[in-house]
Structure 1
Amino acid sequence: MSDIYEVLEVIKERHWREKHEENKEEYQRDPSCLRCYGINEIKIDKWFEGFWKIFQKVILEAMGYNRNTYAKLLEYIVLTRKSGEERYPSSKKKRDKEFEKIMKEGEKLLDIVVVSIRYRNKPDLKEEGIKSVIKIICEHYMFDEEDKLIINERETEENLLGNKELIRWGSIITDDELDIRFTRFGEWLAEKESVEIKDKGYDTMRYLKTILHLEEEGDIIKEENREIVKKFQKSITYQWWD
């Protein structure tokens, strides 16, 4: 959020001026506007109260939410709920394709959730970091027998505050996301180098996750980080085509 905070502040001020002071027909949209997306018309359920309580303990700068936050977060939780064969077809290719579709839809919802929240100051985490916090919290939601959302706040808070990946990198890469990236890497090898991945080692995915984080920070090209790339390459067993 620290990477887009100033932009959102400009959007907020412009929206207020154009929409609520000058009453223009065409105006800057602001997903965080409390007047446009007030919460008086909706009931805030306990599942969201639990989310907000945990979220504010991690993102100390978060000070307010609106109807966008509530509605889009609920959509995200329902979308990403894993329910057996409905979410995971038997074919890995179909499973990956289905997850990619869910992931893209989920990212769009999280984009709205993040910018719909009002922050008193610039958060320490970047936008992807705040998305990661939301993802970790949402992973702990369950549906009870009456299909109502429930969450163990204490357990979720402990897992979130103790998440080593989030602490180290400021964001997380889920196992499902990592699998997709590895599959894409394999497809790229097959297309560009005529090489097939036969097997991967015990540490392959750990190396890949580190590489992706370094890439996100723009540090992968540094000399001291080349060793992790070599380790990743050597951890894979290749099948060369004749």
Structure 2
Amino acid sequence: MSDIYDELEEIKRRHEIEKHNELKEEYQVDPSCLKCYNINEIEIGDWFKRFWKIFQKVILEAMSYNRNTYTKLMEYIVLTRKDGEENYPSSKKKRNKEFEKIRKEGEKLLDIVVRSIRYRNKSDYRKVGIISVIKVISEHYILSEDNEFILDDQTEENLLGNKELLTYRYIIEDDELDIRFARFEKWLEEIESVTIKNKGYGIMRNLKKYYI
């Protein structure tokens, strides 16, 4: 968030003055405010505590989180979670529409997550890099195939050595994967090799490994 750090600091400064010092009715909203979005009334699950532990090992400047961080991250995980047995939409139009809807909603949630975190100083990571870190943890490590939240020591090791993140500093999005897979399908049709039917999201996740 090196690209938005100064903006976040200004928002924090104005919010503290207008909301908590001058008690104005109209004030600058700060998603990272620990007073407005305190966590005293909610129970922070172990899954999030583990997430935060790993996140801080990658984003060293991350200092604190609040209710926004917790709830919006949970919403993002639920939004983007796909069952490995769920059919991958065969219609390109339907597929694009579904991906675009999820992408837009996900971007809004992740924007709040990034802005809800307070940083002790300017990070080397840009906003898009921090979002990539959150996505890697959320989409690949927090939910097990049985829809249980897990983040064990082995997962931590795998994340910190994530080839895709370390190599490209971002992760391949579903829409980009969709484009690459469409090209692959077209090539198979041209050589009259095979026809792929009932593509599941589990298959797509495995194919992604070979596209990077």
Instruction: Tell me if both proteins adopt one fold, taking TM over 0.5 as the criterion.
Output: yes
| Structure-2 residue corresponding to 1:142 | 143
- The CA deviation at 1:155 is 3.1
| Structure-2 residue corresponding to 1:29 | 29
Which structure 2 residue ranges, 5 or more long, are not aligned?
Answer: 189-207
Paired residues of 1:137 and 1:156 also in contact (CA < 8 A): no
Pairs within 5 Å for 1:175-186 = 176-180=174-178
Taking a change above 3 Å as real, the CA distance of residues 87 and 4 of structure 1, as seen in their structure-2 partners, is farther
Aligned equivalents of 2:151, 2:64: Cα separation in 1:
22
| Structure-2 residue corresponding to 1:38 | 38
- The CA deviation at 1:23 is 0.7
Number of equivalent positions: 190
Say whether 1:100 aligns with 2:100: yes
- Secondary structure of 1:100's counterpart equals helix
Taking a change above 3 Å as real, the CA distance of residues 61 and 99 of structure 1, as seen in their structure-2 partners, is same
| Structure-2 residue corresponding to 1:199 | 187
| Structure-2 residue corresponding to 1:160 | 159
- The CA deviation at 1:179 is 2.8
Return the TM-score normalized by structure 2.
Answer: 0.79
Paired residues of 2:65 and 2:117 also in contact (CA < 8 A): yes
| Structure-2 residue corresponding to 1:239 | none
More strand by share: 1
Paired residues of 1:15 and 1:27 also in contact (CA < 8 A): yes
Paired residues of 1:129 and 1:172 also in contact (CA < 8 A): no
Taking a change above 3 Å as real, the CA distance of residues 198 and 137 of structure 1, as seen in their structure-2 partners, is closer
- The CA deviation at 1:157 is 1.9
- Secondary structure of 1:13's counterpart equals helix
Paired residues of 1:126 and 1:170 also in contact (CA < 8 A): no
- The CA deviation at 1:80 is 0.6
- The CA deviation at 1:120 is 0.6
Percentage identity across aligned positions? 64
CA RMSD of aligned residues (A): 2.8
Alpha-carbon deviations, 1:174-197, whole Å to 9, x = none? 3x131355599x9xxxxxxxxxx9
Paired residues of 2:47 and 2:151 also in contact (CA < 8 A): no
- Secondary structure of 2:63's counterpart equals strand
Aligned equivalents of 1:110, 1:142: Cα separation in 2:
17
Aligned equivalents of 1:22, 1:114: Cα separation in 2:
27
Paired residues of 1:76 and 1:109 also in contact (CA < 8 A): yes
Alpha-carbon deviations, 1:184-236, whole Å to 9, x = none? 9x9xxxxxxxxxx9539xxxx99x98xxxxxxxxxxxxxxxxxxxxxxxxxxx
Aligned equivalents of 2:119, 2:38: Cα separation in 1:
16
Select the structure of larger CA radius of gyration: 1
Aligned equivalents of 1:154, 1:93: Cα separation in 2:
41
Aligned equivalents of 1:81, 1:47: Cα separation in 2:
16
Pairs within 5 Å for 1:49-64 = 49-64=49-64
Aligned equivalents of 1:93, 1:85: Cα separation in 2:
21
Aligned equivalents of 1:161, 1:143: Cα separation in 2:
18
Return the TM-score normalized by structure 1.
Answer: 0.70
RCO greater where, 1 or 2, for CA within 8 Å and sep 6 or more?
A: 2
Which structure 1 residue ranges, 5 or more long, are not aligned?
Answer: 187-196, 210-242
Taking a change above 3 Å as real, the CA distance of residues 37 and 158 of structure 1, as seen in their structure-2 partners, is same
